[in-house]
């Protein structure tokens, strides 16, 4: 992790706000393929409903669903716990709920980053109350030492330092999502 390859494209408009590459575009691509293969193996008999957590997981979800060789269904939720800040407020609110019924379904929450774990804990309780057959998590990033709630994560892409990061769907004030790698954010929110 963390080595910048020639494939990483840093937009000129973003360079002044970005620090080191935390996860390169190649590392992201390779790991998403590995996760897709593992999910394909684990859910061969019962393709899961992938629940993407908007907006940060959009790039990850898009790549992951194409790496899963099963007829998966997808739906999206939007939750807010950050606002315009770079630290979670701890208060979770549902901005967009699911459109499908979870009763008796295998559900895989696709999350961009798990830091405090408060948002994910809330989502698990919220979705678990809808009686899915199973409810697991695939998180692209797990921040070291940030968890305030113990989490059981079935799939984790990368464990990273607790720095605030942007790129590959992750943002500050709706910017930087379109970067192809993940970078530390050194600018001001």
Clarify whether 115 is annotated catalytic.
Answer: yes
Among residues 63, 106, 112, 115, the one annotated as catalytic is 115
Rounded CA-CA distance 162/63 in Å is: 24
Rounded CA-CA distance 183/164 in Å is: 9
Rounded CA-CA distance 100/160 in Å is: 33
At a CB cut-off of 8 Å and minimum separation 6, what does 34 contact? none
State yes or no: cis peptide before 132, omega within 30 of 0. no
Residues acting as catalytic residues: 115
């Amino acid at each position: 992790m963390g080595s910048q390859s020639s494939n990483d494209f840093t937009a000129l408009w973003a360079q002044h706000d970005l620090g080191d590459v935390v996860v390169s575009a190649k590392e992201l691509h390779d790991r998403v393929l590995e996760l897709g293969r593992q999910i394909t193996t684990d859910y061969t008999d019962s393709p899961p409903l992938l629940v993407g957590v908007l907006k940060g997981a959009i790039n990850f979800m898009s790549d992951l669903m194409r790496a899963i060789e099963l007829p998966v269904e997808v739906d999206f939720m939007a939750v807010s716990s950050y606002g315009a800040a770079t630290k979670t407020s701890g208060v979770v609110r549902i901005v967009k709920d699911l459109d499908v019924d979870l009763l008796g379904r295998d559900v895989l929450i696709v999350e961009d980053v798990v830091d405090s774990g408060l948002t994910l804990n809330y989502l698990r309780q919220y979705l678990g109350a809808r009686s899915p057959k199973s409810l697991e998590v695939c998180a692209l990033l797990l921040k070291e030492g940030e968890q305030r709630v113990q989490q059981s994560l079935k799939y984790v892409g990368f464990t990273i330092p607790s720095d605030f990061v942007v790129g590959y769907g992750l943002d500050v004030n709706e910017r930087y999502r379109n970067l192809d790698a993940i970078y530390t954010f050194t600018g001001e929110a």
